[in-house]
Chain A
Amino acid sequence: MSQRKSYAVGTGLFIVLGFATLAYLATQTTSVANVRLGDTYTVDVEFANVGQLKERAPVKVAGVRVGQVKSIDLAPGKEAADVKLAIDKRFDKIPEDSVATIFTSGLLGDQYVGIEFGHARKMLADGGRLALTRPAQQLEEMLGKFFGAGGAADNLGGTYTVKARFSNVGALSAGAPVKMAGVAIGSVASVQADPVKLDAVVTLAIDRKYDQIPDDSAAAVFTSGLIGSQYVAIQPGGSPDMLKDGDELVLTQSAMQLEDLIGKFLVNGSPGEKKPGTSPDASAGKQ
């Protein structure tokens, strides 16, 4: 009988253990998990954009973890996310005018909240608020800032249109920026195939501010960086006459195809094919 008792108790323990682990897996490791917090105090922060920030993401000061994100909410009627940070009580000397920023660890990493200290005498207390915030940087915006691709010209003074013919526009699409010296001066209005000449006709809408562009300037389809989007670059020529509305850019350089580039590398710089309308410096391949 005693042996029977022992296995009955053991079986009961086993079943309880099994259900306990099931409860643990179901509640603590899934999306409905409750957030258990230790000895922390809560700080409210408002972000214009939280990006991919998740609950329980780390909060860091000088790159060292001091707490975690407690909750992310969107108050109805507001266009900013309410983020509650649970910060360890040990780190209670955070100035009130500190700046909370959403950073990304690495290019593809996770996002976290970084706090940069201000200079105020008053320290953050429980329920306090960090007024100064910087939202999550969207990758597109960052790339845009790097390569200027996102910053289309403001077009305040209206635009004038210029046509350019390319034998290959690559992935260029309407709305892509037109840049001169790396600065956006307009945008691509349309990309169409010419049914007769069998090439691509790109209409460029250039800001009227920039009306001093020589009419022998060259247009090229470039790519911003290795993985960036494509844009049209204007390389100014030396002609005394300026581009007017409806003009056509004669000198063009088509989009580089990766295959062409590799081919050029492999055959030691000699251009594999001469495309009509290719500008003289096309084979430099430095883009």
Chain B
Amino acid sequence: MNGRAASDNVVLRSLAQIGDCGLFLLTLLAAVPRSLRHARETVRQVWFIGALSLTIIMVCGLFVGMVLALQLYHVLSIFGGTAATGEVVALAVYRELGPVLTALLFAGRAGTSITAEIGLMRATDQLAAMEMMAVDPVAYVAAPRFLGGLIAMPLLACVFCATTLLGSHLVGVSWLGIDNGTFWSNMIAAVELRTDVVNGILWKSLVFGAVVSLIAVFQGYTTPPTSEGVAYATTRTVVASSIAILALDFVLTAFLM
């Protein structure tokens, strides 16, 4: 895992990073059964990664729903189709915005803290100390955080989608006066359980959760043990996660829809 030293060439360096990351994923997966012995640690990570992200997820979801309803209402009123606002909000959020925005927020809120935490453990030789004590840092530090992200992300995406509907309902029905029944009936008629909720929210957010957690843990685990290195790794977590989320979103949409 010393790909960074391999070359100064950006392309080669990125390739080496991706390769290292893939190998690290295998190590991580191999360590998952062992890490289940520290299940309490995984629960703690779900708390830190998931439950503490609820505030930002819910506030952002609320505003995304509100602005979507506001924008859609004015465009749809040109065609006399304001009743479709709920339907369009739900489809847009379930299929794209929900998982993608949650994942981006998740990378910013939880991914960075994972990277910084593990990175500081690396910088302060805590990981080396664990190895000395015959405690596998991958199983005890990395895997619980990876699993925590994997568990938290779909749940956060669901909460995000629900608050988005709440926001759009607030603006659309309570403020702009779309009929409540039409708002819901159009949405219900348009949204399908399998394609939208399962393929849209669940699968996408599960994949995004895995990718963001993997990148965050990997960047922290392989950071150069300096304060500059930790800062750099944290930045790279956000950049790489964002790119991976948006690129994967396209691929997943092509496959799942």
Could you tell me which A residues sit within 8 Å of B by CB distance? 4, 7-8, 10-11, 13-15, 17-19, 21-22, 24-26, 28-33, 54-58, 65, 68, 105-110, 112
Contact = CB atoms under 8 A, between A and B. Distances in A.
Interface string B68-107: 0000000000011101000000100010000000000000
Leading 10 A-B pairs by shortest Cβ distance: A18-B155, A56-B185, A14-B51, A106-B80, A7-B47, A11-B47, A21-B162, A21-B158, A22-B158, A30-B193
Given A21-B162, A110-B83, A29 B43 contact: no
B68 to A, nearest CB: 15
B83 to A, nearest CB: 5
A56 B189 CA distance: 10
Given A14-B50, A55-B185, A7 B43 contact: yes
Interface of B: 40, 43-44, 46-48, 50-51, 54, 79-81, 83, 90, 94, 151-152, 154-156, 158-159, 161-162, 165, 179, 181-182, 184-189, 191-193, 196-197, 201-202
Contacts of B189: 31, 54-55
Contact of B154 (A18, A24, A31): A18
B83 A105 contact: yes
Contacts, number: 118
A28 B162 CA distance: 11
A99 B165 CA distance: 36
A14 B192 CA distance: 26
Contact of A19 (B48, B155, B156, B201): B155
Contact of A14 (B54, B162, B191): B54
Given A21-B158, A57-B182, A30 B43 contact: no
Contacts of B185: 54-57, 68
A65 B155 contact: no
A25 B197 contact: yes
A108 B81 contact: yes
Q: Is the interface of B mostly helix, strand, loop or mixed?
A: helix
A110 B181 CA distance: 11
A109 B43 contact: no
A108 B80 contact: yes
Interface centre among A10, A11, A54 (most CB of B within 10 A): A11
A87 to B, nearest CB: 13
Contacts of A58: 179, 181-182
A13 B181 CA distance: 31
Contacts of A24: 162
A68 B159 contact: no
A10 B90 CA distance: 29
Contacts of B201: 22, 25
Nearest to A15: B155
Contacts of B161: 21, 25
Given A10-B51, A18-B155, A30-B193, A108 B179 contact: no
Contacts of A31: 188-189, 191-193
Given A10-B51, A13-B51, A33-B188, 15 more contacts: A7-B43, A8-B40, A8-B47, A14-B54, A15-B155, A17-B159, A25-B161, A25-B165, A30-B191, A30-B193, A54-B186, A55-B189, A56-B184, A68-B181, A109-B83
